[in-house]
A and B are shown apart, each in its own frame.
Chain A
Amino acid sequence: SQQGEEDPQALSIQEGENATMNCSYKTSINNLQWYRQNSGRGLVHLILIRSNEREKHSGRLRVTLDTSKKSSSLLITASRAADTASYFCATGTASKLTFGTGTRLQVTL
């Protein structure tokens, strides 16, 4: 079963714009992670935010976590065509991850 929903399911933006995707989860967590998947291939770890953190940055990525609302958001700033991919939030441990439904991001030139 999946931990929660991601919103929107699909997002199309132009290069240079910001992309925001949201994730909701159901149970208490110790941390939440975001992964990227290019065209049905393997997943790449982007960022991990712990339950006692509210915001975290990594390059052009900004992640927020609101444990009271059981939600997280991923912001990609100044998007590039190479950011075109599916993005998943995941909870649980690195041994057993529970993924959200994913957001398909399309960045056009």
Chain B
Amino acid sequence: KAGVTQTPRYLIKTRGQQVTLSCSPISGHRSVSWYQQTPGQGLQFLFEYFSETQRNKGNFPGRFSGRQFSNSRSEMNVSTLELGDSALYLCASKLGQGNTEAFFGQGTRLTVV
């Protein structure tokens, strides 16, 4: 069974640009959550999607957005990139609602220059 796949693995963007990251969950998993990891702030929750609906949102500005498709694949978008957006972006999927185990992808390393 394939794991959570995130693409691309590495990305370099310029300040002011926008970026779209993709996450394909484990087959059959309907919930996808996104996290940002930086040396200064650690691991922080961005948002969660379940059945194409955003169920939870973390404390991030509106420049950070996401969506989920009918096949459960999810994308997150960051507009007007800032240097501080440089981070490892992690996606996690789980089967459904409730306290089940989250499976993480390898992450997308975004560098903003």
Q: Interface on A for B, CB 8 Å cutoff? A: 1-2, 30-31, 35, 40-45, 48, 88, 92-102
In this complex, how many residues of chain B approach chain A with their Cβ under 8 Å: the count is 32
- Please give, as numbers and ranges, the residues of chain A lying within 8 Å of B81 by CB-CB distance: none
A-B complex: 10 closest residue pairs judged by Cβ atoms? A99-B43, A42-B104, A94-B102, A43-B104, A42-B106, A95-B48, A96-B56, A94-B94, A45-B101, A94-B100
Given A2-B42, A43-B92, A44-B104, 9 more A-B residue pairs with CB atoms under 8 Å apart are A1-B59, A40-B107, A40-B109, A41-B106, A42-B106, A95-B48, A95-B97, A96-B33, A102-B43
Q: Name the prevailing secondary structure of the B interface residues.
A: strand
Q: A1-B59, A40-B88, A43-B90 are in contact. Are A96 and B103 (CB under 8 A)?
A: no
CB distance from B66 to the nearest CB of A (A): 14
* A75 to B42 Cα, complex, angstroms: 22
Q: Are B98 and A42 in contact (CB under 8 A)?
A: no
